Amino acid sequence: MNTARAGRRIRIAAGLGAVALTAGLAGCGAQGGGGSEGTADSGTIDWWGWTPDVNVANTYIEAFNEEYPDITVNYKQVPIEDWEAALRPALQTASGPDVFGVQPGSRVDAFKTFAEDLTPLAEEALGEDWKDKVSQIGIDGLTADDKLVAMSVGAVYAGSLWVNQALFDQAGLEHPTTLDEWVQVCEDFRAAGIGCFVQGASQEGFDQDTLQAIAERVEPGAWTEASKGERPWNDPAIVETFEIWQRLFTDGIMQEGAIGYAQYPDANNDFMSGKYAMIMMGSWYTQYAPEAGMIGAIEAAGVADPEPFPLVPIEFPDVTGEGNPAGYFGDADYGLALSTKSDNKAAARTFITWLTTNEDAQQIVANTLNNIPALKGISADWDSITLPFPDQQLTALQEYTETVSQATAARFLHLNQDEQDAILEAAVSLAEGTATPQEAADRMQETVAALGE
């Protein structure tokens, strides 16, 4: 799984403890290539991340060890809610991770002083024109003060709904394409004893995904301009976005108690267990479309005898009726940073270079369907991916991954933590009915202005 935002967004199932994963040949514990330059063919490195999941990390490490059998990689997954508190003190000494995950935006600024500049590594691996060979979204999101803080593994994009097509077929319903249709579909699902749409509205990252998707239908680019400070947060386009967000609650689209839900595990488990027909998720959800990924996710949701269902992405409905196109937006999911305190920098450079710039490694990233690869020209090999319902899924997934990878709008890049907190406050106040859309927008603008943004 992926995450949505450290401290405020979660894609990893909540409750996961820190997990250590070791791969490599037994006994290959030699410390190779310490120092500030170069790579190594042997050594032991510690890699920390809130993402990827352990099984995905294991896939990467096993493939890495086929080429570098004498480098042992120990992967430790830390729950997203504990990430910053665990990472910051660990990076103060050489006993912390050699390689650690970094998110775009505020987390790049927070951890840039703990990371080596990886520009020379990118140039060595890909040449002086390296920026032309990788996704720009990964460069922009992981650079601070002209320093490449981390190298992107791949990107994720939001703005889509995902549906359980079996439930639509069972109820004899079509995907909603407008707000009125969405309201009616939810009424029809409830009449059939099926939940309609589920969201963890207690979390800023996922609320923002829905708000930004609405805003794209209101006026393409308006949310991005507000995020950049190029238009006020109480602009009419944002007020209309807030009005529609509030209607999701008042018109019966959001499930009861949505603001008390977390996206992970609550909303995700309810959707995967077949209680709801629709959920707001992004490109990272593609990993659950194949049979193996789906069975695992359904089991994790508490279903004893999991049966796969046709999971497919659909466009966010045209909630304004204006005909503006559905908008997708994203960032580098995470980058790999090299700790300045590491005693194993050479071996760490080898691993970072391999996972982020090697074509075979990036093909593995593509085929896990968790990220859109950072290296240009790499896409999922659908012939090697087993889908439980290929007639219903294959074309939809191919078109979806191709479409979202063309998106240029950012998801979190232009927002700091205070702005994200203000978005969550506005979203919750609208859901609870304690503020009108205009009041929520005015309050948010006042908050941002007071911060000097």
Give me the pLDDT at residue 80, please. Answer: 76
Same domain, 183 and 119: no
Same domain, 200 and 307: yes
Give me the pLDDT at residue 268, please. Answer: 95
Same domain, 280 and 351: no
pTM of the model: 0.86
How far apart, in whole angstroms, are the C-alpha atoms of residue 70 and residue 24?
A: 7
The answer to the question of residue 252 being in a domain is: yes
Give me the pLDDT at residue 453, please. Answer: 57
User: Average pLDDT of each block of 10 consecutive residues along the chain (453 residues)?
Assistant: 40 34 35 55 96 90 98 93 89 93 85 95 97 93 94 96 98 98 98 97 94 98 96 98 98 97 94 98 95 93 96 98 96 96 96 98 95 94 96 97 92 88 96 97 94 71
Same domain, 118 and 204: no
Q: Catalogue the long-range contacts made by 248-252 (C-beta closer than 8 Å, 24 or more residues apart).
A: 248/210, 249/430, 249/431, 249/433, 250/433, 251/179, 251/183, 252/183, 252/186, 252/187, 252/190, 252/196
Helices 204-218 + 417-432 axis angle, to 10: 80
3 state SS of 54: helix
How far apart, in whole angstroms, are the C-alpha atoms of residue 197 and residue 279?
A: 6
Same domain, 148 and 188: no
Domain membership of residue 220 as a residue range? 160-327+399-410
Q: What is the DSSP string of 142-164?
A: TEETTEE--EEEEEEEE-EEEEE
The answer to the question of residue 394 being in a domain is: no
The answer to the question of residue 210 being in a domain is: yes
The answer to the question of residue 8 being in a domain is: no
The answer to the question of residue 384 being in a domain is: no
Same domain, 88 and 191: no
Same domain, 116 and 217: no
Same domain, 303 and 189: yes
Q: What is the dihedral of CA 189, 295, 306, 158, to 10 degrees?
A: -20
Give me the pLDDT at residue 26, please. Answer: 31
3 state SS of 243: helix
Closest CA to 148 of 156, 160, 140: 140
Distance from the first to the final alpha carbon of the chain: 32
Structural domain count, the chain: 2
Structure tokens at 43: 């050594």
The answer to the question of residue 387 being in a domain is: no
Same domain, 169 and 117: no
Q: Classify strands 329-338 and 409-410 as parallel, antiparallel or unpaired.
A: parallel
Same domain, 342 and 300: no
